[in-house]
């Protein structure tokens, strides 16, 4: 197998977080209309809150735009009030799931070991995981960003990922929703380090998974970020809530 045949298309995924009521479906329809009218170089996904997932998946049926969840439980069913099993996401139309987002690691105390178990649950249900990693500002300023993220990759990725479709999203916590982005040099250094870690864990197939960048990606910085070495797409928060902004980012891929 050649290296080029290992390279999947970039992925641009919108993370709506805890935003969106029924009327937000119109934004998603506008995204799908734009993507389907002018097919994108990248695969495109929208990950809405769980309450909208089924309706959004139905609204986008027939479109190339995929839908995804924002988390899943490690178990397939049972007494876990408020949680959602991976198969439930699939049942609601999801093809992907974001796992280990820093907001879940921070707000819900998710460890990398838990994230790895969630990845296994997602794979078992047939979902493609987007596994998030990223350092805090304190860790970056202490000069330990590379070590922190390498450890997160090592501990959040189970062996079951070998040969499976998945992506990593590098999201420096201090760049999420703040309007600050990492420099291109910092992004390239981190993505190269993540790639090296993937190859050390999975061998040749570690060259394939796209490494997305996330953290205040906007229409005016997307092209430069998406052109950077080893950037295989973007995980987009705030700017994915407005169809026009999200479409401009998709067009830059």
- Comparing every residue's Cβ against ligand PEP, the nearest one is 237
Q: Which of 216, 230, 232, 253 is in the footprint of ligand PEP by CB under 6 A?
A: 216
When asked if residue 116 is in the footprint of ligand PEP (CB under 6 A), the reply is no
CA 182, CA 213: separation in Å to the nearest integer?
9
Contact letters for ligand PEP, residues 1-40 (x by CB under 6 A): --------------x-------------------------
**What minimum distance in Å lies between the beta carbon of 181 and ligand PEP?**
9
Q: Does 108 bind ligand PEP (CB under 6 A)?
A: no
> Per the residue annotation, which of 101, 103, 110, 191 is the catalytic one?
101
- Of 44-52, 121-129, 170-178, 186-194: span binding ligand PEP (CB under 6 A): 170-178
Beta strands (DSSP E) in the chain are 11-15, 43-47, 66-69, 96-99, 128-133, 167-170, 211-214, 233-236
Can you tell me which of 237, 243, 246, 253 binds ligand PEP, judged by CB under 6 A?
A: 237
Rounded (5°) CA angle 7-14-231: 35
Q: How many residues does the chain have?
A: 253
The string of DSSP codes covering 122-164 is: HHHHT-EEEEEE---HHHHHTT-HHHHHHHHHHHHS-GGGTTS
Pick the catalytic residue: 27, 128, 135, 171?
Answer: 171
Q: How far is the CB of 199 from ligand PEP (least distance, A)?
A: 25
Nearer to ligand PEP, 170 or 202 (CB): 170
Does 236 participate in binding ligand PEP (rule CB under 6 A)? Answer: yes
As a whole number of angstroms, the distance between CA 250 and CA 233 comes to 9
Locate all alpha helices (DSSP H) within 203-242, ordered by sequence. 222-227
108 in catalytic set: no
CB 11 within 8 A of CB 30: no
**Which residue ranges make up the site for ligand PEP (CB under 6 A)?**
15, 171, 176-177, 214-217, 235-239
């Amino acid at each position: 197998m050649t290296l080029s045949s290992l390279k999947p298309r970039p992925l641009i995924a919108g993370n709506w977080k805890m935003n969106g009521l029924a009327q937000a479906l119109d934004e998603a329809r506008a995204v799908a209309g734009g993507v389907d009218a002018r097919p994108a170089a990248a695969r495109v996904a929208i990950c809405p809150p769980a309450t909208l997932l089924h309706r959004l998946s139905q609204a986008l049926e027939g479109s190339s735009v995929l839908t995804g969840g924002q988390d899943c439980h490690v178990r397939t069913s049972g007494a876990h009030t408020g949680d959602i099993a991976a198969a439930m996401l699939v049942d609601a139309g999801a093809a992907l799931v974001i796992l280990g987002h820093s907001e879940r690691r921070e707000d819900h105390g998710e460890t990398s070991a838990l994230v790895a178990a969630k990845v296994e649950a997602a794979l078992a249900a047939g979902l493609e995981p987007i596994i998030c990693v990223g350092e805090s500002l304190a860790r970056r300023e202490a000069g330990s960003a590379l070590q922190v993220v390498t450890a997160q990759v090592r501990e959040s990725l189970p062996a079951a990922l070998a040969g499976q479709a998945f992506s990593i999203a590098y999201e420096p916590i201090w760049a999420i929703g703040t309007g600050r982005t990492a420099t291109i040099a910092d992004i390239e250094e981190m993505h190269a380090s993540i790639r090296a870690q993937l190859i050390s864990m999975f061998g040749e197939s570690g060259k394939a998974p796209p490494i997305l960048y996330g953290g205040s990606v906007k229409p005016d910085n997307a092209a430069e970020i998406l052109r950077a070495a080893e950037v295989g797409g973007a995980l987009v928060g705030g700017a994915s809530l407005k169809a026009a902004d999200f479409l401009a980012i998709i067009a830059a891929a």
